[in-house]
Chain A
């Protein structure tokens, strides 16, 4: 009972954060609403039993990505034309497309969803077995992500530096 209550609470929190993102005027408020949504999602992951993903969500998304985003918002002057007028001319078609997409996916989900045969479908997630399997079976992918991150860092530096050299 308590578990179901918390589930609905966090689902409502994630939805409220996402809706606030659409109407908030200042980018900092949008960032805070996105952080609220991400924290609600982390709580949902924890409730699903995959605590390691909940921790990753908080560490990587809220801790790294959103702090980066908040720094950039503070760095830039945000009170420009997009602050006065929040929405583009595509407001109506955009709402139409989003409603149609959500409706179509919702209908598909309602029609094709198969209820699991019994409650015990979710096997217990064990961090110990996950860690062993991760570094035994997926070590190559893990190493490749470090290469990807290195490429991303080099590309970010190249984007900033390349322009400076042309200007100078």
Chain B
């Protein structure tokens, strides 16, 4: 197994573990962090392909993805904060009002 294949396998594993965390954990903040883990797994595959391809375009794309991820977390955390203030808990099982 060469280096690229090893890193792509790690990327798959991180994405699957992040998805598992989002599905099975009950704490809203932990779910958010597991989503960050999924993003990191995808970014790892992007960096692997970018460094294998060479050139500058892949690295520029990774930089832009970082900025978008930072903006995403800047929106997601206030929403979680608001939910936690309103329902007095971080347990997503308590947010039944979203179920309709």
Closest CB-CB distance, A136 to chain B, in whole Å? 10
What is the size, in residues, of chain B's interface with A at 8 Å between Cβ atoms?
71
Count contacts on A: residues with CB < 8 A to the other chain. Answer: 82
Q: Name the distance in Å between A15's Cβ and chain B's nearest Cβ.
A: 6
Interface residue SS majority, chain B: helix
In the bound complex, residues from chain A placing their C-beta under 8 Å from that of B43 are 41
Contact for A81 among B12, B26, B30, CB less than 8 A? B26
Q: How far apart sit A53 and B56, CA to CA, in the bound complex (Å)?
A: 12
Interface residues of B in 22-73 (CB under 8 A from A): 23-30, 32-34, 36-37, 40, 43-44, 47-48, 50-52, 54-56, 59-60, 62-64, 66-73
Q: Which of A84-137 contact B (CB under 8 A)?
A: 85-88, 90-91, 93-95, 97-99, 101-102, 105-106, 109, 113, 115-116, 121-123, 125, 129-130, 133-134, 137
What A residues does B20 contact at CB under 8 A? Answer: 22, 94-95, 97-98
Q: A-contacting residues of B (Cβ < 8 Å)?
A: 2-10, 12-21, 23-30, 32-34, 36-37, 40, 43-44, 47-48, 50-52, 54-56, 59-60, 62-64, 66-75, 77-82, 84, 89-94
